[in-house]
Homo-oligomer: A and B are copies of this chain.
Amino acid sequence: MPEKTLKQLADHTGGRIVGDAGVIIHSASTLAGAGTGQITFLNNKRYLPLVKTTKASAIIVGKEFESSAPLLIAEDPYYAFQQIVVLLHGQRKHKDVGISKLASIAETAKLGDNCNVGDFVTISDNAAIGSNCRFYPGVFIGPDAEIGDDCILYANVVIYDKTIIGNRVIIHSNASVGQDGYGFATHDGVHHKIPQIGRAVLEDDVEIGSGCAIERGTLDDTVIGRGCKLGDMVGIGHGTTLGPHCLLVPQVGIAGSAVVGHHCMLGGQVGIVGHIKIGNMVKIAAQAGVINDVPDGATILGSPAIDADLGRRAYGSIQYLPELRKRIRKLEKRLDDYDKSGP
């Protein structure tokens, strides 16, 4: 890892330093775990007490912060931290393995320049892969799939036939993209499989977590908009579209034919029913159950999901229900007594 002065890091991120600009930084760590030569960051007031006790050589903080320790004051501390971690540590380095002799690549498949294809990878007929892609062992690419440039597919990822994947897409281990949507027509008590002839489309700069399952469309495509980031074990139903730059943390599930706008943030285990429309910039708290359309910019929570300001008080009031029932009974008793005897 390269050694940098705090000054160099501040110049790299456009931040201001309070304290010793010459202190040497070689790596990044947490407030609690950092030691000499390490930089850390403060992005959550919960950890403010650790600023006084940290052994770090520097802390990245927001403008509202003043201290006698050397500080790197940034417009956007978390983004500055991201840039510095990339500078000091870089993203994952991958070994260049070329095209493994233990991979199985169809003659009709096309690979761009400089791809790395690991052991036991299967690339099926007519698949078209761009340049600089990296497939870890056990990846399966179905027939007629199209994958852009600079993609990374980790071990045992499965891409079904005809799936379309853009550039710079990252897919983590054991995820599935383009499997059949959940589509059955029930007749006389038997469920008949509807061919799923739509595709799954991942636009540029999407990242998909481990164990995700992105269904192909029944007729229309399932689309994950550019820059969306999906955590582990997220499920997306057939024909659902996510606008650009949404954040879906682990275990979110969205049923089919839903339309989600851009820059939405969905907390863990959120569920969204099918055939509804979620606006742009919508925030949905963890475990919420969304059953109706949601307007642009809304913040919602709870199952069923409602406006967050009301919802915090409403769901937080469930704990008072036993007491409220008692108080209502008592009011009724008092009024009954009035009825009998007057006040």
What is the interface of chain A, defined by CB distance below 8 A to chain B? 28-30, 32-33, 40, 44, 46, 76, 78-79, 81-83, 85-86, 89-92, 95, 100, 102, 104, 118-120, 122, 124-125, 136-138, 140, 142-143, 154-156, 158, 160-161, 170, 172-176, 179-180, 182, 184-187, 189-195, 197, 207, 209-213, 215, 219-220, 227, 229, 231-233, 235, 237, 239, 245, 247, 249-251, 253, 255, 263, 268-269, 271, 273, 275, 286-287, 289, 291, 302-304, 306, 310-311, 313-322, 324-325, 327-328, 331-332, 334-335, 338-339, 342-343
Contact = CB atoms under 8 A, between A and B. Distances in A.
A158 B154 CA distance: 9
Q: Is the interface of A mostly helix, strand, loop or mixed?
A: loop
A320 B331 contact: no
- Copies of this chain present in the complex amount to 3
Given A154-B158, A318-B321, A331-B331, 17 more contacts: A89-B195, A89-B197, A95-B125, A154-B179, A156-B156, A179-B232, A184-B229, A213-B233, A235-B251, A255-B286, A269-B289, A271-B287, A303-B315, A304-B316, A317-B321, A321-B321, A339-B343
Given A125-B95, A263-B189, A338-B338, A211 B213 contact: yes
Q: Which of A161, A185, A324 gathers the greatest number of chain B CB atoms within 10 Å?
A: A185
